[in-house]
Each structure stands twice: as structure tokens, then as C-alpha cells.
Amino acid sequence: MKDLFSPRQRRDLIDRGFNRRDLARLAAFLAAGSSLSFYNEATLAQGLSAGPPLPEDAVRINANENPMGPCPEAVEAIRKLVPQGGRYLYQETFAFRDAMAAAEGVPLDHVAPFAGSSDPLHRVVLAFCGPEKSFVVADPGYEAGGKAAEFIGARTIKVPLRRDWSHDVRSMAAADPNAGVIYVCNPNNPTGSVTPREEIEYLVANKPRGTIILLDEAYIHLAKTAEPGTPMVVAGKDVIILRTFSKLYGMAGLRAGAAIGRPDLLEKIRGYAAGALPATGMVGAIASLKARGLIETRRRLIAEIRGETVGWLSKKGFDVIPSEANMIMIDTRRPGRAVQQAMLREKVAIGRTWPALPNHVRVSIGTPEEMATFRAAFGRVMNV
Ligand SMILES: Cc1ncc(COP(=O)(O)O)c(C=O)c1O
């Protein structure tokens, strides 16, 4: 088999602590298609409904999806493109990169398009972590990066969120002088809590030399107070930002996303790409970026439904972690997994629990009708 790694890549892998056997395994994995999903919300939603499939009329508020779906402009752009689908249409990928760069105010070569953000998230871990380069993550936090780290034998260091549910950037910066990646999800999944920009800037300024700050902004458009990290990228810092069209833009099944970072960092995650990206996702994303007022309107709508749900829950005596995203963590004061199972019997699929908060369940924000069904079912399950 042709050697998949250049001499430089091989040296870099050995520096990160990989041995010969690891290299062979990694090469096989990369050759098999590096967009393999280790773990994402979809995998989890399927895991939960393992056994009899969810009934058609079940309410699905388990994967932080957006029931509004793509905006009308995106639907129209996709509809127009479909008849040309016999072509590879790779120019749509470049057009998406250009639209994203313009929207974010970054140079063209600072944007790498992907089919969603799970792929670049995994690649960043593969590219910068290793047996001697740890992955640092908040607890509770989004688990995908830790799964990728486990796959390549990198240690995951979990740093508890602070009492205000923001990232503890001081402890994260000091967690491991040899950290490969420090992952900050802003707003955080599962808490929906925001970490202020000054805190993230502190982390970037005080991280170990050579460590990459992976800033996952999957939910940034939903948050009123979260500030994007793009100025840090423009300033040339060791920061890679992940963006997705799966959340506010309602395109989880259509797949579009991007990594934004310095070209030399993007180069390290771009290798082994499989080629053309789904043009439907690309044109849908371009149309979404151009749709006027879309972010504000959807952010407000989701905040209203979230507020209504939280209001009802607090009236019923349940504490909810303050969230700025399309999910809430509810303290059920009993093992969350049992509540999740009981809700499933009511045909309402809610999200999972986290070991750090075993009595909390994560509930995604659905439509007003879906949340009414949720309230009725939750009331029955919890006897309130
Ligand atoms: C924090 C976070 N990052 C990344 C993703 C990946 O989503 P996608 O691959 O659909 O962009 C998710 C999905 O829920 C997420 O919650």
C-alpha cells in the first residue's frame, strides 16, 4: 500500500506520541474516509430509540435540531439545483466558501467548507492530539471530540464548568502543558450557557505553546450574548472555529458547515478529503447566509418558546440551567435516564443525561405544539 503520510506528517505523528502500529491504524482509518462520524447528535438520537423505532407521531426534541427546517430561500435554491445534480458541482463549494468568508469578515483562505461540523471537529482532534497530546474539554460538554481522542489513544481531560456554567478557562489553560487541543463550545452543549469573549481571549493568551483552541460555535447564532471568535482568527491566533448550518439554519440533514482558521492550521485538517461536497447543502447554506433577518427572527422565536417552557417548568418547581441556545437542562431531581425512558413511553423523545449531572435531562426546543405535548407528557411522568 502506498504510504499515506508524507515524511513531514510522519515526523509530526511521531512527535505526538504515535507508534508504528498506531500509524497503520490511523492510515487505514483515514483511507476508509475521514468523514466517518464517531459520534454526533444523530447517532445519539438513534441510540436512544434502539429497539422499536419511534412512532411517526413521536415528538423528537432529543438532538438539538431545528423543526423550522431550511429557510424558504434555501429550499428554493436547492429545488433549482436538483436537476443539475448529475454533475459534480464543486464550484458550489467555492461559492459557499466565498459567501462564508464575506459573512464572517475573514480572508477566503481562512475558510474550509465541510458537510457539517462533526467532520472538521474529528479531524482537528486527529491532527493535533495523540498519545502524548491530550484533549481538554469542559464537563459537562459535547462528547464528540472525546470520542475521537479515545480512538487515537489521546487522553481526555475534563474540566468542570464554573458555577455560572461558563468554561473555567483558567483551569483549562493549566490542565496540561502538553495539551493538543482545548475545546470550547460556545454556547455550550448541553447547558446552552455562554462563555464571555474576554474569558476565551484569556485562554488563547495563556494556553500552552502549540496548543490549538477549538472554538465550536454550533449554537452561536441562537445566543444573544455570545460573541464570535472570528477576530481572534483574523489576528492570527492558534484558534480554529467550527460553524454548522444544522442548528439555527435548520439544515442538519442537508449538511453544511465550515472550519475557520489560519491557512496553515486548515491545511493540517484538509488532507485526505473525499472531494466534492453535497451541492444541495452548499447552495442551501449560501441562500441562508443571504436571507435577510433570518438569524434575528429565528433567535427571537426560539427564545420565546424556550422562555415559555422554562416559565412552565419553574412554576412546576423545576430548576433549569439558564440557556441561550435551543436546548435546556432540567433538574428532574431523580435519575434523568429513567425520566428519559418514561418520556419515550409517552412518545416524546427527549435528550440524554451527562455523568456530571445525572439528575438533569437535556430537552431541545421544538415547535410551540411539540413543547405543549412535552409539557403534558412531562406533567404525567413527573406527577405535577
Ligand atoms: C456542539 C456541537 N458541535 C458540533 C455538532 C455537529 O453537528 P453537525 O455535524 O450537524 O454540524 C453538534 C451537533 O449537535 C454539536 O452539538
Cell numbers 420565546 correspond to 304
pLDDT grade, residue 316 (50/70/90)?
very high
Q: Domain check: are 97 and 215 in the same one?
A: yes
Q: Any idea what the CATH number is for the domain that residue 369 is in?
A: 3.90.1150.10
Whether residue 315 is found in the same domain as residue 182: no
Residue 153 CA, ligand 1 centroid: distance in Å: 22
Please give the C-alpha separations between residue 5 and each of 19, 30, 131, 202, in angstroms, as whole numbers: 14, 10, 18, 35
Distance from C-alpha of 74 to C-alpha of 326, rounded to nearest angstrom: 21
Residues of 232-258 as b/e, b for ≥16 C-beta within 10 angstroms? bbbeebbbbbbbbbbbbbbbbebbbbb
Which residue, 256, 290, 324, sits at the end of a domain?
290
What are the helix (H) ranges across 82-163? 91-104, 118-128, 144-151
Q: Is the pTM of this model over 0.85?
A: yes
CATH code for the domain in which residue 246 is found: 3.40.640.10
pLDDT at residue 35 above 90?
no
Question: Per residue in 142-164, pLDDT tens?
Answer: 999 999 999 999 999 999 999 99
Whether residue 228 sits in one domain with residue 353? no
Instruction: Return d(Cα 111, Cα 131) in angstroms, integer.
Output: 29
Say yes or no: 219 and 233 in one domain: yes
The distance from CA 309 to its chain's CA centroid, rounded to whole angstroms, is: 23
pLDDT score of 1: 40
Q: What tens digit of pLDDT does each residue of 216-267 get?
A: 999 999 999 999 999 999 999 999 999 999 999 999 999 999 999 999 999 9
Helix, strand, coil in percent for the chain, rounding step 5: 45, 15, 40
Residue 55, helix vs strand vs coil: coil
Range of the domain at 194: 72-290
Alpha-carbon separation of residue 344 from 135, 350, 352 (angstroms): 34, 7, 12
- Cβ proximity of 353 and 331 under 8 Å: no
Q: Is the CB of residue 268 less than 8 Å from the CB of residue 112?
A: no
* Protein residue closest via CA to atom 2 of ligand 1: 218
Does residue 19 belong to any structural domain of this protein? no
- Quick one: which atom of ligand 1 is closest to the CA of 189? 1
Q: Whose CA is nearest to atom 13 of ligand 1?
A: 41
Same domain for 62 and 79, yes or no, is no
Torsion angle of C-alpha atoms 205, 208, 212, 218, degrees rounded to 10: -60
Tally of domains within the chain: 2
Residues with Cβ within 8 Å of 166's Cβ and at least 6 positions away in sequence, in order, are: 193, 194, 195, 196, 199
Residue 135 lies in a domain: yes
96-119: pLDDT as tens digits: 999 999 999 999 999 999 999 999
- Max CA-CA distance within the chain? 64
Phi, psi for residue 357 in degrees, rounded to 5: -135, 70
Binding pocket residue ranges, ligand 1, CB within 6 Å: 40-41, 64, 116-118, 121, 142, 185, 189, 216, 218, 244, 246, 252, 257
Which residue type occupies 149? Answer: A
Q: Mark whether 262 and 116 lie in a shared domain.
A: yes
